[in-house]
Each structure stands twice: as structure tokens, then as C-alpha cells.
Amino acid sequence: MEKKQAEKRIKELRKIVEYHAKKYYDEDKPEISDFEYDMMMLELRSLESQFPEFITQNSLTQKVGGNVKEGFQKVEHEVPLQSLQDVFNFEEIENFEERVRKQAEEEGISNPQYVVETKIDGLSAALEYVNGKLVRGATRGNGLVGEDVTENLKTIKKIPQELPEKINITVRGEVFISKKDFELMNSEREENEEELFANARNAAAGSLRQLDSNITKNRPLDIYIFNVQKIEGKNFESHYEELEYLEKLGFNVNPIRILCKNKDEIIEAIKEIGEKRENLSFGIDGAVVKVDNLKLREAMGTTTKVPKWAIAYKYPPEQKETILKDIVYQVGRTGVITPMAILEPVKVAGSTISKTTLHNEDFIKEKGLKIGDRVLIQKAGDVIPEIVKAVTEKRTGEEKEFKMTRICPVCGAEAVREEGEAAVRCTGIECPAKLHRNLVHFVSREAMNIDGLGENIISELLERKMISNIADIYDLTLEDIATLKKNGKKFAQNLINSVNESKKNDLYRLITSLGIRHVGVKAAKVLAKQYNSIDNLSNATIEELNQIEDIGPIVANSIKEFFEQQQTKDLILRLKQAGVNTVRLKEENADNRFEGQVFVLTGGLEDYTREEALNIIEKFGGKVSSSVSKKTNYVIAGDNSGSKLLKAQNLGIKIIDETEFKKMID
């Protein structure tokens, strides 16, 4: 490559890798695979090696990626948290071992040993202990400056708050989420219509870098410690000895560490870890080879970015070719219709793969997939099988184009794709695929508030075929319910009373209970006030709905589509026949003391749930917003208030505590 051409390509690559590094390290939302990123970095390193005159200090080959997130305190690392030099073949491992041997000979050290460990796919962090007590924890950041995430790290059960010895020590570890926990997290997020995490590494990183430690507390984070950064009053000769000492202190130390004497043993250890990779409970993205002798490490030194005494071998993703036999549909509990690939079974990374998700119609178009294609598949992050691409050169002409359905394959209701969304959703309220979720929502506290009818009871009623749609709740008899529990007469009577009581609910509760997409309690109250009856709302036009404050075009379309469905019409008719109130109840002694005032709630209140506080504010004519802005009048701050409190302080918005709130409503 000519010099001018190389300079141009180096500049292009730097721009691309900087963009993707920002997505990966700072935003925890990668857009490309680790392998694709590694290959770009490899090309950049190679070009800079050939043309060193173009190397700059700002190149990501010369520094660690990552910056401090706004809202966190900065922590300067006394001992830098460096990155590792990646290699992709055994020849480079042999070259590394040769460099180590030469340095060892110069230092008079015979037979240098190595420790080969798993390269855990997570987020690096440092833990600092003073007199045996955890005083600070920080992310790696850019290697020199990280984020103070002490409170978040304290939520990880495997991290000891106090050590059995009163020593001053700083250790480094990798925070991660296990494969099993990652799958469970994404399943729950899918059910709750939340954006799925791309992989376990980014789920862990995003969880640890939360400004609100209560969010971190509810995430299944784990940690493996793999290095002593600094220690006072003790001297060790080897890295392996350090790891054994850390275990005695109670740290959760990286479980796979293999002591090796030469390059052949190193390569065997790497192969051994590669074979175990599929069965490990945690994800790895390589194997790390470290010099064991600490004096030799010191002699070898480091560059500004990486230590010269360690190297990371990256396993290539295993890809296999198979046939995309068909594309079928799977309807989730939220009504999202997901296309699923049916594959000719093939073994990849130790597992037989016969199907995988195709996410949505955009994904299929981007990949250019056709039914009957030969396709390449691999496992993303060692967990999720994915189609990489179609092998278009092997097409026969018999492949079929795929067209996404606009009819729910389970119930036949219309399936819609909203503007700005990739998902196609079933609009049928009584679709069997989402009936359980719809029932749970219908009876919930913020909706019809039927006490005693929890998820388990609903599951049993469905299993016994005692109900098959929402309206069947109002046909349940005392005898039906009593059979659900041993000596269940009292339980049955209480539940029947609660079901009958729900018939008297105000209109906004009924609207909320229907689970119209984008319509929560707040919007339901606005609609109830505007239309006064379910019939009036059912007949509302798009134009009318668009004119209502707080009801935008997306919500208006969702409401219109919902009430046009035959399933909706049938349900409302049956609810009326059961005696459920469908009109707005008259308000007595209206008190609008908060009219025109916007409140934001943050943290936990002692005497009120968030829903109770919201209802009180709205009862007095006020509004509750989920975010702080210049339009906010009051921020009610409870325990463990997070970023909303900081923003309110910066904007100069009035902040009140629970005591002041009580005075305002007294």
C-alpha cells in the first residue's frame, strides 16, 4: 500500500473504531460484533506498524477506550487499569513466549512460567480496601481515570465489605452476568416490552454504571477478581501465589487458571479453555496469558496502553452453514409477533441449533434472507444463536421471498406496526398468546384492583379452563373459586366480594385495565374526563383524539385501532352485561389546589407508595411527570434519590421532602 493511501485508510479506520468504541465502552450499546471490531483494530495496528509516522497519541491503538459518564465522580487510578494486546493465532503466542524467554535470560531468571486464565467478558473494576474495609470501587474508564461506582459495587454479594486481615490492598476484577441470568433478564425485558440487551457484557456494564444504585441492586451482577494492583506490607514472588492469597481473603477469584512452563503448554491450555467454553456458566471472549514471575513482569514493563508481560488470545467465532427451511411466527405475551428461523439442525459451539429468532422484518430485509437460503450461523456472546448472512452464491432460484404478516397467527386479529418501531403487534385483547398477561394487568391494583386474583390463581384458572377470556372473571362462582384452595370458602368469598366491588370502579380504571398500547393511568384519566363513557371513547375519531392534550398521534392511532377490533367490541358488551360500570363517576367536593402544577417523584417515600402519591397529586388537579424539565414546579425527593434530584438542583427547581408534601396536602 502506498503511503498516501495508507494515511487515508488509517484516518478512516480511526474514525470508525472511535465511533464503535464510544458505542461499546461509553453507551454500552454496541452496533457490531466484537470480532468485527477486533478485525478493524487489527488492520489499524498493522497499518500503524508499517507506517509509524502516522501514529498519534489519540489513536485507540495507543490508549484504552472509555470515558467517565456524566453524573459520576472521577477516580484517578494509582495503578493504571490497562488493556491487553489481542492476538488471533498461535504463531503470535509463540512470538510472545520467545520475547519473554529472552528477557528472562537477561534478568538471570531460568524457566519462566505462565498463568493462562479465562478472559471474562464483562466490565473491569478496581476495589480499594483500607485497614481491610472496602472504601472505594471504580470502573476502568480510560485506564487512568474511572468512575466512582462504590455504592453499586457494594450491591454485588460476592464482593466482601470487610476482609479477615486489616490490610491496605487494591484488587482488580471483572464484573459480569452469567449466561443463565442474562437469558432470564432478556426474557423478563421482552415480557415488559423493554429494549433487549445486546449481550451479557453490555448488560453488566450498563447495570454497574447506573446513577441509581437501586437499579444495580436488582441486576444479577457477579465478579471474578484476577489481579492484585497494589498491596502494603506483603511481598509475593508470583502471580499464582497472589491469586491463592486473594482466595484466602474471601475474594471470588477467577476459577480457571492453568500454570504453564512453555509455549506448547500455553497453547494446550488455550485449546483446553476453548473446549470448555461452551459449558462455562459465564461468557468469555478469549484466554489471557500472563508471566507468573512478578520481578520478570517489572523488568518487561508496559506501553502506555498494554503490559508487555501479558497477551490475550481471541477465539474466532465458530460459524457453520445450514439451510433456512422456513420462517414461522411466535407471538409473545405482549403481543409482539416475532419471525423465527427454522433451520436444518447443525452443531455450533457444542450445541445443536435448529431454530433462532430473526427479531423483526427489518432484520430479515437487512440480511437479505429468503426461505430456502443456505445461511451462515454463529453464537453471539457464546449464548444466542444468530444468522450472520445468506450464502447468496449458492442460491438455486427456488428460494422464496418473505413477507411479514399483518394478521395475528394465533387469534386472527389485525397486527400493526407503529411508526418508529420495528415490532409488529397483535391488537386482539383476547388473543390466547397474551391472555395471561392481559388478565394479570386487568385485575392489577392500578386497573380494576381485584384483590386476591394474583398471577398464580389466574394461571390455575386458565389451566383448569375455568376462564378463557377477561369477561369470564365476572362469571366465576363461589363454588368455582373454593375448589382452588383447601378449605377455600373464606378465600372464595373475599375474592367474589372483590370482583363485585370492581364493577363499581370509575371509568378511568376500566380504560386502564383494557391495556391499550401507550395508555396508562394518566392517559386513561384524561380520556375518561374527555369522553365520560366507554361508548363515547369507542366512537372517537383520530382527529378528535389528536386534539386532546397529552394524547399524541401515536396514542390516538393505538386507541382507534384497539376499539375497531371485534374482540374489543365483544369484550365491552360482555362487561356491560356483567354489570361493570362504563361511565365516569361524578366528583364530589373537587379541590384543584395543584392545578397547573407539575410534580416529579424520585426515590422512596416512607408513608406513600409512588402510586398513592401520584393519585393524591392528580386528585388535587396536579400533574406528575416522569422526567425533570424547566416546566417542573416541584421535585418530591425520597430516600436514595438519583439523577432526577441532581438535575432539579442544576435547574434550580424547588425540591421538597415527604414532610413538606404532607403539609401541602393536609
pLDDT tens digits, residue range 578-626? 999 999 987 655 678 898 899 999 988 888 888 888 888 988 888 888 8
Architecture of domain 3-54: Orthogonal Bundle (1.10)
pLDDT for residue 67: 63
User: Can you identify the CATH homologous superfamily of domain 74-313?
Assistant: DNA ligase/mRNA capping enzyme (3.30.470.30)
pLDDT for residue 65: 60
pLDDT tens digit string along 37-47? 778 888 888 88
Question: Under 8 Å CB-to-CB from 318, ≥6 apart: which residues?
Answer: 348, 349, 378, 379
- Helix 610-619 × helix 521-531 angle, to 10°: 30
Q: Give the 3-state secondary structure percentages of the chain, helix then strand then coil, rounded to 5.
A: 40, 20, 40
pLDDT for residue 605: 86
pLDDT for residue 139: 93
Q: Percent of the chain at pLDDT above 90?
A: 59
Residue with the bigger pLDDT between 488 and 600: it is 600
Nine cell digits for residue 166: 486489616
Nine cell digits for residue 582: 362504563
Residues taking part in catalysis: 119
Using DSSP bridges, classify how beta strands 284-291 and 114-120 pair: parallel, antiparallel or unpaired: antiparallel
Chain region(s) in the chain for CATH 1.10.150.20: 415-577
CA–CA gap between residue 116 and residue 265 (Å, rounded): 10
Contact 166, 205 (CB under 8 A): no
Q: What are phi and psi of 242, to 5 degrees?
A: -60, -45
pLDDT for residue 45: 83
Chain region(s) in the chain for CATH 1.10.287.610: 3-54
pLDDT for residue 596: 87
CATH 3.40.50.10190, applies to 598-665:
yes
CA–CA gap between residue 539 and residue 534 (Å, rounded): 9
Architecture of domain 415-577: Orthogonal Bundle (1.10)
33 SS3 class? coil
Residue with the bigger pLDDT between 26 and 169: it is 169
Where helices occur in 483-520 by DSSP H, the ranges are 489-502, 507-513
Q: Percent of the chain at pLDDT above 70?
A: 97
Top-ranked range on mean pLDDT: pick from 30-34, 244-248, 525-529: 244-248
At the topology level, CATH places domain 320-394 in OB fold (Dihydrolipoamide Acetyltransferase, E2P) (2.40.50)
pLDDT tens digit string along 343-354? 999 888 667 889
Largest CA distance in the chain: 93
CA–CA gap between residue 23 and residue 26 (Å, rounded): 6
pLDDT tens digit string along 430-476? 899 889 989 999 999 989 999 989 888 999 999 999 999 999 999 99
Chain region(s) in the chain for CATH 3.30.470.30: 74-313
pLDDT band at 220 (very low <50, low <70, confident <90, very high): very high
Chain region(s) in the chain for CATH 3.40.50.10190: 598-665
At residue 389, does pLDDT exceed 60? Answer: yes
Chain region(s) in the chain for CATH 2.40.50.140: 320-394
